[in-house]
Amino acid sequence: MNDMKYLTLNEKAVAILQSNDRGGYTVPTSGLYPYQWNWDSVFAAWGFATFDKPRAWDELDTLFASQWDDGMVPHIIFHQDDPGYFPGPDMWQVNRNPATSGISQPPVAATLAREILAMDPDGLDRVRALFPKIKAWHRWWAEQRCSQGPVAITHPWESGRDNCPDWDIGMANVDGSNVGDYQRRDTGHVDASMRPGKEDYDRYLAILYFGRDTGWNQSEIVANGPFLMADPGITFILLRAHVDLIEIGRQLGEDVQEIETWAAALRSSLPMIWNADIGAYDARDLRTGTFSGNIGSGAFLSLLADESTPELDTHLQRIWDAVAYGIPSFDPDAVLFDPRRYWRGPTWPVVNSLIALGLRRAGRFEDEARLRRETAQLISKHGFFEYFDPKDATPCGGNDFTWTAAIWLTWAGRDFQEEAD
Ligand code: DGY
């Protein structure tokens, strides 16, 4: 990368995307995440669309080239071996070329493809090729993961919000005592206090081993796997993605009836994840019916799907006002709040960008502007980090992060005035 010191923030963001570009796909950040990650990659595409539209579509094409025959789009694509990441392809044992992981990740593709299409008058042909693939992925969610109503995840990593307190009750039922010795790599790149703990990793591996031992048999994993929870985050992301895919389909002259059916079914299942005891959407253990009892970014993603409620809004204002830089991934008034540990408290600029899409659609322009301003302050003062302490802005996790750079270009940096030195 050039000497970053003399670049404007926009130039830095572009340079980060370019330096994380591995040719057709983009790594989230070098070192910590050296492969193609599903939702990171879609955000990368959105960022590329601000300065290189064909490259934006290429990113999505590369991602969907690794779609499984059943429609699933894996959460990691291991394009080239990198010993700096664990668990790598040898652990997942998915027999594909390139190798992939065996689980999925939040389906933001339709939503961001629609954003990219709006930026690219020549994009219709590119999106035409992607439409059936995105639709097949949505069908996979609808058929394999929505049988009880809201979206079920089979591994916390599928949620993208890996170790948020939402999953604690489901993880408590996972036996991680038999996974043997292994060497984590993430804590070699990032301070261990900002990452999930060893007990979390033991259980992540136990769930992975279960899936691997079934040969990644979806029905078996959903029926008998050690972890199955309803995820409000993916439920709202998928709901919005259905709506956006319907819109894209209409522009292409495609029949969208099936997608409308999935969207209606998903919307009507929302009462199942409404926890009246806390007045918020909540994660739920689908093996026991128990709610997690936590309020965090999964609930606030309801804004993305036009599904806010007055009670949830009251929580949002309280939680946002309790920090300097919203919106924290977890309730700062809760005992488990941990402001720098991965998804247990920090503010994630990329989640803010999704919530902002919802705020804009709802006409809540002041809230959207506040969120954009606070996000821009974090990035402009501290760099393009993965996440930040919501109270004192300490930058956390990986640096020169692709999706933070991407959302700077597409959203957070909009209207931002650089201060002269
Ligand atoms: C990790 O390795 O931390 C990833 O989030 C898993 O997807």
162 is catalytic: yes
Residue 197's identity, in one-letter code, is G
For 358, residues 6+ apart whose C-beta sits below 8 A from its C-beta are 240, 301, 302, 303, 304, 305, 306, 308
* Contact (CB, 8 A) for 131 and 248: yes
The edge-to-edge listing of strands for the beta sheet with 36-37 is 36-37, 76-78, 99-100
For 289-389, where are the alpha helices, taking DSSP H only?
Answer: 297-300, 310-321, 349-361, 365-382
- Tell me how far CA of residue 393 lies from CA of 209, 319, 325, 380, 386, in angstroms: 37, 16, 7, 11, 12
Encoding tokens for residue 125? Answer: 């042909």
Q: What share of the chain is helix, strand, coil (3-state, %, to 5)?
A: 50, 5, 40
Encoding tokens for residue 345? Answer: 């408290």
H/E stretch holding 138:
helix 124-140
- CA-nearest of 407, 396, 322 to 32 is 396
pLDDT at 3: 58
Per-residue pLDDT of the chain (421 residues; tens, 9 = 90+): 545 667 899 999 999 999 999 999 999 999 999 999 999 999 999 999 999 999 999 999 999 999 999 999 999 999 999 999 999 999 999 999 999 999 999 999 999 999 999 999 899 999 999 999 999 999 999 999 999 999 999 999 999 999 999 999 999 999 999 999 999 999 999 999 999 999 999 999 999 999 999 999 999 999 999 999 999 999 999 999 999 999 999 999 999 999 999 999 999 999 999 999 999 999 999 999 999 999 999 999 999 999 989 999 999 999 999 999 999 999 999 999 999 999 999 999 999 999 999 999 999 999 999 999 999 999 999 999 999 999 999 999 999 999 999 999 999 998 887 765 4
* Contact (CB, 8 A) for 240 and 308: no
Residue appearing with tokens 């689980």 = 103
386 is catalytic: yes
Q: How far is the CA of 64 from the centre of ligand 1 (A)?
A: 20
pLDDT at 338: 98
* Contact (CB, 8 A) for 357 and 239: no
Is ligand 1 within 6 A of the CB of residue 75? yes
Please, what's the largest Cα pairwise distance for the chain?
Answer: 60
pLDDT at 420: 53
Q: Which of 307, 386, 389, 400 is catalytic?
A: 386
Encoding tokens for residue 146? Answer: 């929505």
List Cβ<8 Å contacts ≥24 apart for 284-293.
284/150, 284/229, 284/230, 285/169, 285/170, 285/173, 285/228, 285/229, 286/148, 286/152, 286/228, 286/229, 286/230, 287/170, 287/173, 287/228, 288/169, 290/169, 292/165, 292/166, 292/167, 292/168, 292/169, 292/229
For 383-415, where are the alpha helices, taking DSSP H only?
Answer: 402-407
What are the two backbone dihedrals, phi and then psi, of residue 329, each rounded to the nearest 5 degrees?
Answer: -70, -15
Residue 32's identity, in one-letter code, is L
Q: How far is the CA of 216 from the centre of ligand 1 (A)?
A: 18
β pairing state of 387-388 and 76-78: unpaired
For 166, residues 6+ apart whose C-beta sits below 8 A from its C-beta are 159, 229, 231, 232, 282, 283, 292, 294, 296, 298
Residue appearing with tokens 């204002």 = 317
β pairing state of 284-285 and 229-230: antiparallel
pLDDT at 415: 84
Is ligand 1 within 6 A of the CB of residue 162? yes
Alpha-carbon span 77 to 327, nearest angstrom? 30
Per DSSP, the three-state class of 351 is helix
Mutation pick for ligand 1 pocket among 162, 163, 341 (CB with most ligand atoms within 8 Å): 162
Mutation pick for ligand 1 pocket among 75, 82, 101, 157 (CB with most ligand atoms within 8 Å): 157
Model pTM above 0.75:
yes
Residue appearing with tokens 């301003």 = 373
Cis ω on the peptide bond leading into residue 116 (within 30° of 0)? no
Per DSSP, the three-state class of 66 is coil
Q: Which of 52, 82, 120, 162 is catalytic?
A: 162
